[in-house]
Amino acid sequence: MTQSSDFYTDKIFGSSSEVDSFQSTAVQSAYPKRFYAGYDPAIAEPSPVTGWYDMANFNSPKGLPPLSELLPLTKEFWESHLTSTQEPKAVQNGQIVTYTPPPLPLKDRAQSTLQRIMSQASALTAMGEVFGPETRQCAQKLRAIINGVDTTSTTLPSVPNDLTT
């Protein structure tokens, strides 16, 4: 995705004098294009977009990512990005693509699920209830995944809707 060399003069927002005053800043010297997607090129592609940058909004390059971590975008892409649904995006082969993050590891999902179950223990106790056998079995299976005892499961056990069962 390339841009014309006079991209900073293309008006999208603000007055043309705002854009014209921007042309002489240090930001334009450091960033020759106006619109960028930030990403980490050290991550295997597709590399998630970490930020969207309209350089006309910055007075100084201080705190901005290095140019090597930015993908220049066209004015057309930028305008469509602003009005489209905000699905996760990534950089792949120099292009912006829709990104589907990988699922969390099973161990992490098991930990989160067990924490959700355990957070309800005090409420049950306050009402004179206890976890039922299905819930206790589910918690045991989750602990086995978390502790590395169960290395064959690929899915989490089902959590009962009623924790007293």
pLDDT at 140 over 70: yes
Per-residue pLDDT band at 48 (split at 50, 70, 90): very high
pLDDT at 15 over 90: no
Q: Which two structure tokens, joined as six digits, stand for 22?
A: 């921007």
C-alpha 75 chain-centroid distance: 23
Residues 75-131: pLDDT tens digits? 999 999 888 888 899 999 999 999 998 889 999 999 999 999 999 888 888 889 999
Single-letter residue type at 43 = I
Single-letter residue type at 162 = D
Predicted confidence at residue 16, as pLDDT, reads 45
Q: What are residue 47's phi and psi, to 5 degrees?
A: -95, 120
Share of residues in the chain with pLDDT > 90 (%) = 64
Q: Name the β-bridge partners of 91.
A: 47, 96
The pTM for the full model equals 0.58
pLDDT at 139 over 70: yes
Q: How many Cβ atoms sit within 10 Å of the Cβ of residue 97?
A: 14
Give the C-alpha distances (Å, rounded to integers) separating 33 from 3, 59, 73, 75, 155. 7, 15, 8, 10, 46
φ/ψ region of 67 (left if φ > 0, alpha if ψ in -120 to 50, else beta) reads alpha
For residue 55, the surrounding DSSP H or E stretch is none
Per-residue pLDDT band at 7 (split at 50, 70, 90): very low
